[in-house]
A and B are shown apart, each in its own frame.
Chain A
Amino acid sequence: GAVVSQHPSRVICKSGTSVKIECRSLDFQATTMFWYRQFPKQSLMLMATSNEGSKATYEQGVEKDKFLINHASLTLSTLTVTSAHPEDSSFYICSVVGASGNTIYFGEGSWLTVV
């Protein structure tokens, strides 16, 4: 069964609005989660590392004020795309390290379309 759950799987929002994507670890507690973005026909790009109880760590070139990450509990991290624009339309995926530490599990992804 699924180890990581994302919600919503698809969302359409108007330009200028904000949208929140949730990532839940279903089987174990996760102090760290990761957020990726993937444009069509491209590879996954790591955006940020979400740390429970502390600030997220962003990769170079990713705007922290635009992509707000909150990791308020050991099973939930949220990514909020603020003031979304059409160029933010993408596939957003989260990942979680498994309990053994050897395997990293990915969520099913969330398609964001900004119109």
Chain B
Amino acid sequence: DAKTTQPPSMDCAEGRAANLPCNHSTISGNEYVYWYRQIHSQGPQYIIHGLKNNETNEMASLIITEDRKSSTLILPHATLRDTAVYYCIVREPTGNQFYFGTGTSLTVIP
């Protein structure tokens, strides 16, 4: 079962930062937080992952709270192509199965 909860939908103005929250209050110490997004009718696309430190790559930044019970994915300058469903997933270190929650449908508005 999914260990994460996310708001069902969010809007963001084009060019502004999109901040997508995720709660994972039951996460254990060795479980990673992964973020994927799915554009309509396509397979999920990897965005970023982290354990406890904040992470940044060319796509986004991941901020994980000190207690690791929640995290935020930040898209620094949202574009219309960032409109998608964003999934936050907790991954066990020895497991490669992903149990998806309902995700957040992000709409970037011109």
Contact = CB atoms under 8 A, between A and B. Distances in A.
Interface of A: 4, 6, 32, 34, 36, 43-46, 49, 91, 93, 95, 97, 102-109, 111
Task: Give the interface SS of chain B, mostly helix, strand, loop or mixed.
Answer: loop
B43 interface: yes
A1 B19 CA distance: 28
A114 B21 CA distance: 37
B91 to A, nearest CB: 8
A107 B43 contact: yes
A35 to B, nearest CB: 10
B43 A43 contact: no
A107 B44 CA distance: 8
Contacts of A49: 97
In this complex, the interface size class of chain B, counting residues with CB under 8 Å from chain A, is 20 to 34
Given A105-B46, A109-B43, A43 B96 contact: no
A46 B97 CA distance: 8
> Considering residues B36, B38, B44, B49, which has the most beta carbons from chain A within 10 angstroms of its beta carbon?
B44
Contact of A43 (B42, B46, B97, B103): B103
Task: Give the interface SS of chain A, mostly helix, strand, loop or mixed.
Answer: strand
Nearest to A9: B41
A104 B101 contact: no
B52 to A, nearest CB: 15
A91 B43 CA distance: 9
A93 B38 CA distance: 12
A104 B43 contact: no
B26 interface: no
B102 interface: yes
Interface string B31-46: 0001010100111111
A96 B13 CA distance: 34
Given A43-B87, A43-B103, A109-B41, A95 B98 contact: yes
